[in-house]
Amino acid sequence: MYIKQIYKDKYEQLTNWKKYETIINQFRRKSIRVNTLKTTVPKLEKELKKQGWSLTKIPWCKEAYYIEGLRRDIGNLEEHKEGHFFSQRSTSLVPSIVLQPKETDVVLDMCAAPGGKTTHLAALMKNKGAIVANEPVPTRRRELEINLQRCGVMNTLVTQQNGLTIKDVQFDKILLDAPCSNSGSLRGNTKKSAEIMQQWSKNKVKKFAKLQKKLINHAYSLLKPKGVLVYATCSLDPEEDEEVLEDLLQKTDAKLQTINLPIKTTNKKYCKIWPQDQNTDGFFVAKITKP
Ligand SMILES: C[S@@+](CC[C@H](N)C(=O)[O-])C[C@H]1O[C@@H](n2cnc3c(N)ncnc32)[C@H](O)[C@@H]1O
């Protein structure tokens, strides 16, 4: 994969470059989450194994597997069309698990499309309580709606607006899966990886960080007392991760909570997941509470 020199110079300071470079040049393992709103884990496991797929449990999510087979187009499987599973990266399972929504909660998913995490939240809530899934980009909002329908989600209202303009409503729990530079998603010599690398620049990272700080502070203002906010990005750039978190902690009374999951992370409190540590994407997740 082509890597810009400025990227290499920066990342050599952040991690073990050799190990990082080796892993990001390999393809990511495909993974799925069983949609328990439509089927059960044993049923889908049995069906996919019967078709010759090899499944390996993902340690931090009991409904998810790494999946391998002769084909790679798992999106064309009948079970996918029927909404029995969601093709979801193993790292992107973490935020909804950490948010731990209850069946009585009112939840905001501020940046929701294409809906991997909204459908996960709905499944964890057993289609009860209520979710507001917001996505400002019309084509992406449509994709979100299609996925909600495919997965049989019934407790979710879709809105289409800039997250910063959501007002006059308070939530028990909020997921902010922020727009980001996507540096954690560099895996394999693909068109997508080339696109991420081509678009990555120090200026872009700065721009995203500015928006992310606004979004996290606004999300926190929409949280009820005792509420929980989960901040996530698929970026590994500290400006979009630790610095955004720090901005919120400095400006408000927000408290950072420890995340305890069977996942390797370079920090004890929040999850900073490096691709080389367990052959995944790179990801950042932090859990915050309001007193
Ligand atoms: C990382 S993606 C979300 C992925 C999604 N949570 C999932 O799991 O499928 C970030 C999303 O934020 C949206 N977005 C960009 N600017 C936004 C803003 N100002 N307010 C809310 N959402 C925004 C993007 O269009 C994009 O769909």
- pLDDT tens string 271-291: 999 999 999 999 999 999 999
Q: Is the CB of 120 under 6 A from ligand 1?
A: no
| C-beta 135 within 6 A of ligand 1 | yes
What atom of ligand 1 comes closest to residue 211's alpha carbon?
Answer: 19
pLDDT of residue 71: 84
Residue with tokens 């029995």: 84
Ligand 1 centroid to residue 111 C-alpha, Å? 4
What is the per-residue pLDDT for 72? 83
Q: Give, for ligand 1, the residue of 88, 94, 111 to mutate: max count of ligand atoms closer than 8 Å to Cβ.
A: 111
The DSSP bridge partners found for residue 133 are 109, 158
Backbone angles phi, psi at 121, to 5 degrees: -60, -45
Q: Encode pLDDT of 233-251 as tens digits.
A: 999 999 999 999 999 999 9
Q: Tell me whether strands 85-87 and 31-34 are parallel, antiparallel or unpaired.
A: antiparallel
Length of the chain: 291
Reported as a pLDDT band with limits 50, 70 and 90, residue 40 is very high
Query: Which of the residues are catalytic?
Result: 234
pLDDT at 218 over 90: yes
Cα–ligand 1 centroid distance for 162 (angstroms): 9
- Per residue in 94-129, pLDDT (tens digit) is 999 999 999 999 999 999 999 999 999 999 999 999
* Per-residue pLDDT at 157: 98
Q: Kindly report the average pLDDT of the chain as a whole number.
A: 97
Pairing of strands 61-68, 283-289: unpaired
Q: Which of 84, 57, 88, 51 is nearest to 70 (CA)?
A: 51
Q: How far is the CA of 115 from the centre of ligand 1 (A)?
A: 10
Alpha-carbon 239 to chain mean position: 18
> Which is the closest atom of ligand 1 to the Cα of 232?
1
Does the Cβ of 177 fall within 6 Å of ligand 1? yes
Q: Which domains does the chain have, with CATH numbers?
A: 5-27+90-289 (3.40.50.150), 29-88 (3.30.70.1170)
Do the Cβ atoms of 141 and 196 come closer than 8 Å?
Answer: no
The pTM of the whole model exceeds 0.95: yes
Query: pLDDT over 70 for what percent of the chain?
Result: 100
